[in-house]
Chain A
Amino acid sequence: MKKLFTRFQEIVLLVSGWFTSIMVLLIVFFLFKEGIKIFGKKPVEEGFVMAVHPNNLVNSISPGMCKDIFDGKIENWERLGGRSYPIELATLEDIGSLYTEEEIGSEMEHLDSCFNDYINKHEGALISLPKSAVSSSFKGKIISVKKISLNSFIRGIEWFPTSKPVAQFGILPLITGTLLVSLGAILFALPLGLACAIYMAEITNKRTRSFMKPIVELLAGIPSVVYGFFGLVVIVPLIQKVFHLDVGETALSGSIILGIMALPTIITISEDALRNVPVSMREASIALGATKWQTISKVLIPYSLNGITTAIALGIGRAIGETMAVLMVTGNAGNLTLSYLKPIRTIPATIAAELGEAPAGGMHYQALFTLGCVLFVFTLAINIYINFVTKRRRM
């Protein structure tokens, strides 16, 4: 009996031990299961198709072109390789206002003939109609919209997930935005953090160190939403004033806040790395007549370079995934820019801001999960890199 109990306890331990691995796999499974669905789909509103006049030469259309047409930037079929006709747009609502209620029918049972009528009369027509209105007698030509591919998803420069009738799922501006703030954060945090680590590990006495250590820990403990709030009420107006900008919600504001948030990671890990340098190395350097700074810059830093790169990588990892603070201070404008003085939009902020309003299970919802996958891949790559570096150091 007692043996059985012991065995039971050991099994509990075993299961707990594997818990994190199971969780990671579950997260991967659910994230990718939902996120992968977006690929191969046509970014057309669900239940709708696009159609043109039967004589139209155009057979397929890309989502980007479609948006330009609806935005009034493309006005003639010639631009799409068709005959020169002005494009005439019609959606379900337009049909509803063009035809009387009698013609459409009380339960929209004659909708198909209305669409048929419209497309016959307009040679330049481009219509978006519900699939249910496409009957066997439908005269118009249904054109295909290009499917979403990994390529178009990652390299597309426009993110209009709710645009109708064709949505735009291009995440390049979100990726550059995310990388831009993260890089800025590290550029801000690295000099400060490294200086602080050197100071704590090599220069100051034990008492100052024991005073600074809890401060760094506290800096790590402050919730991100508090940082965001601080950024919103202090940093954003400050940036606007200092640089005489039109808007203060910029990549720079985000970088500064994220930099402060990345500081504790960088300080703690670099300090550990510096402390782990064998005493013999230090002594040898001092014995050769080097000053303390020469020892630090020529011996200690090169020796702990691996640890410092780990710190940088972890700092970037934290910055890439940070959500609330960024959401509150960067302005969330999805434009493709490399300027620090312009508003940008990051991947985590996009998920946080849009998931609540996206209809569950729809294409927009799936696209947000795909963004989650992208984020996961980023952080996974960073972790694997760190693992690789630390292993090399052990060897």
Chain B
Amino acid sequence: MDAKRKQQVVFTAIKTMSFLVVAILVIILGFIFINGIQVISWDFLTKMPEDGMLKGGIFPAIVGTVCLIFGSMLFAFPIGVLSGIYMNEYLKEGPIKQFIRLMTDNLAGIPSIVFGLFGMAFFVNKLGFGDSILAGSLTLAILAIPVIIRTTEEALRSVDKTYREASYALGATKLHTIKKVILPIAFPNILTGFILSVGRVSGETAPILFTVAAYFLPKLPQSIMEQVMALPYHLYVMATSGTDIEKARPLAYGTALVLIFIVLICNLAANIIRNRYTKTKK
């Protein structure tokens, strides 16, 4: 019976530790929520910062982040999905596929600050985009592409073989089969990847530090060649610089809450789509 006893002890420990993980999340979210909710108001979300960013709202930072999400997804989504299709449908197992997969994994593993360095050297300086939405979006796009490729590949792989065979049996070409049969089935899962990468892109700071983010702008961007403020960078600035950190603290909590809210919505949406899809498949 000693072994049973031991199991009981160990399982209790494991259970405690697991709930500690949940507790960590609850603490972080709760802390930011309790401190941040007090400053959230319609004015906070829609007003310009005022008085050296100690008053007013975060409207330009929200606009900036939305611009960056749109910009980066415009590049990342088509390329990611097409790349995923190519990998899963066209390439056969072999050294080439292994090489591309290794490269994709490498790209996914590169630290975000290195993307920032590259974005600065290539988009900002070499291609002469300057600090702009364009340069920032492209840098973020490269970061998001591996995520989209991976989810696309998984989504395609999970499509049942019989659909393919049925389509071919009806005389459809490969491209036609992919477009008309496989993609529609795999679409919800691909969408999940898309939404999750939106969440990721909206929170990245290091890649935009030297490619687009501005400390303070008195106006909204007018073209893609301009700098914008962005939520994550704004939070960083509010937390560390400024002439009066104590006064800026509440605004920092508010900004953090807005950021977390975006991520929360993305995760929730992704989960809903995933669940609905798995149910209908049954």
- Answer whether A and B touch in the complex at a CB cut-off of 8 Å: yes
A interface residues (Cβ-Cβ under 8 A, vs B) = 6, 9-10, 12-14, 16-21, 23-24, 26-27, 30-31, 34, 191-193, 195-196, 198-200, 203-204, 212, 214-219, 221-230, 232-234, 260, 263, 267, 291-294, 314, 317, 320-324, 328, 348, 351-352, 355-356, 360, 368-369, 372, 375-376, 379-380, 382-384, 386-387
Q: Is the CB of B267 within 8 A of A323?
A: no
Q: Is the CB of A214 within 8 A of B267?
A: yes
Q: Is the CB of B114 within 8 A of A321?
A: yes
Judged by a CB distance under 8 angstroms, whether B110 is at the interface is yes
In the assembled complex, the CB of B208 is this many whole angstroms from the nearest CB of chain A, namely 11
* A21-B3 contact given A223-B259, A372-B113, CB 8 Å threshold: no
Q: Is the CB of A16 within 8 A of B82?
A: yes
Q: Is the CB of A20 within 8 A of B203?
A: no
**Chain B residues near A204 (CB-CB < 8 A):** 15, 18
Judged by a CB distance under 8 angstroms, whether B21 is at the interface is yes
CA of A192 to CA of B263 in the docked complex: distance in angstroms?
A: 24
* Nearest-neighbor residue (CB-CB) of A214 within chain B: B271
A selection of 9 A-B contacts at a CB cut-off of 8 Å is A16-B85, A17-B100, A24-B103, A214-B267, A225-B205, A225-B235, A233-B249, A321-B110, A379-B111
Judged by a CB distance under 8 angstroms, whether B170 is at the interface is no
Which among A14, A27, A217, A356 is the interface contact of B267 at CB below 8 angstroms?
Answer: A217
In the assembled complex, the CB of B114 is this many whole angstroms from the nearest CB of chain A, namely 5
* A30-B17 contact given A223-B203, A323-B206, CB 8 Å threshold: no
In the assembled complex, the CB of A248 is this many whole angstroms from the nearest CB of chain B, namely 15
In the assembled complex, the CB of B38 is this many whole angstroms from the nearest CB of chain A, namely 15
Which among B3, B20, B145, B236 is the interface contact of A294 at CB below 8 angstroms?
Answer: B3
Q: Is the CB of B118 within 8 A of A195?
A: no
The total number of A-B Cβ pairs within 8 Å is 245
Q: Is the CB of B100 within 8 A of A20?
A: yes
* A293-B79 contact given A13-B86, A20-B107, A230-B28, CB 8 Å threshold: no
Stretch of B5-13, B53-61, B156-164, B216-224 that contacts chain A: B5-13
* Nearest-neighbor residue (CB-CB) of B142 within chain A: A23
* A19-B114 contact given A226-B32, A328-B236, CB 8 Å threshold: no
Instruction: Sort A-B residue pairs by CB-CB distance and give the 10 closest, nearest first.
Output: A321-B111, A223-B203, A17-B86, A16-B82, A195-B17, A293-B7, A21-B103, A199-B18, A323-B206, A16-B83
Judged by a CB distance under 8 angstroms, whether B31 is at the interface is yes
Q: Is the CB of B99 within 8 A of A321?
A: no
In the assembled complex, the CB of B108 is this many whole angstroms from the nearest CB of chain A, namely 9
* Nearest-neighbor residue (CB-CB) of B114 within chain A: A372
* Nearest-neighbor residue (CB-CB) of B199 within chain A: A221
**Chain A residues near B121 (CB-CB < 8 A):** 30-31, 34, 369
**Chain A residues near B202 (CB-CB < 8 A):** 223
Q: Is the CB of B107 within 8 A of A386?
A: no
Q: Is the CB of A192 within 8 A of B82?
A: no
**Chain B residues near A27 (CB-CB < 8 A):** 107, 110, 114-115, 118
**Chain A residues near B46 (CB-CB < 8 A):** none
Q: Is the CB of A379 within 8 A of B109?
A: yes
* Nearest-neighbor residue (CB-CB) of A13 within chain B: B86
In the assembled complex, the CB of A350 is this many whole angstroms from the nearest CB of chain B, namely 9
CA of A27 to CA of B146 in the docked complex: distance in angstroms?
A: 15
In the assembled complex, the CB of B118 is this many whole angstroms from the nearest CB of chain A, namely 5
Which among B25, B102, B259 is the interface contact of A383 at CB below 8 angstroms?
Answer: B102
List residues of B (60-105) whose CB comes within 8 Å of A's CBs: 78-79, 82-83, 85-87, 90-91, 99-100, 102-105
Q: Is the CB of B252 within 8 A of A380?
A: no
**Chain B residues near A322 (CB-CB < 8 A):** 111
CA of A192 to CA of B102 in the docked complex: distance in angstroms?
A: 29
* A293-B10 contact given A30-B118, A322-B111, CB 8 Å threshold: yes
Q: Is the CB of A6 within 8 A of B267?
A: no
Q: Is the CB of A21 within 8 A of B100?
A: yes
CA of A65 to CA of B80 in the docked complex: distance in angstroms?
A: 53
* A351-B113 contact given A13-B85, A195-B13, A214-B267, CB 8 Å threshold: yes
**Chain B residues near A34 (CB-CB < 8 A):** 121
**Chain A residues near B109 (CB-CB < 8 A):** 314, 317, 321, 379-380, 382-383
Interface digits, B187-205 against A, CB 8 Å rule (1 contact, 0 not)? Answer: 0000000001001101111
Q: Is the CB of B117 within 8 A of A369?
A: yes
**Which of A21, A215, A225, A369 has the most B CB atoms < 10 Å from its CB?**
A225
* A6-B173 contact given A12-B82, A293-B3, CB 8 Å threshold: yes
* A31-B117 contact given A219-B25, A225-B203, CB 8 Å threshold: yes
**Chain A residues near B136 (CB-CB < 8 A):** none
Which among B146, B236, B249 is the interface contact of A225 at CB below 8 angstroms?
Answer: B236
**Chain B residues near A291 (CB-CB < 8 A):** 3-4, 6-7
Judged by a CB distance under 8 angstroms, whether B229 is at the interface is no
Which among A20, A23, A31, A212 is the interface contact of B22 at CB below 8 angstroms?
Answer: A212
CA of A15 to CA of B282 in the docked complex: distance in angstroms?
A: 36
Q: Is the CB of B7 within 8 A of A226?
A: no
Q: Is the CB of A292 within 8 A of B7?
A: yes
Which among B7, B21, B86, B206 is the interface contact of A196 at CB below 8 angstroms?
Answer: B21
Which among B18, B117, B122, B256 is the interface contact of A26 at CB below 8 angstroms?
Answer: B122
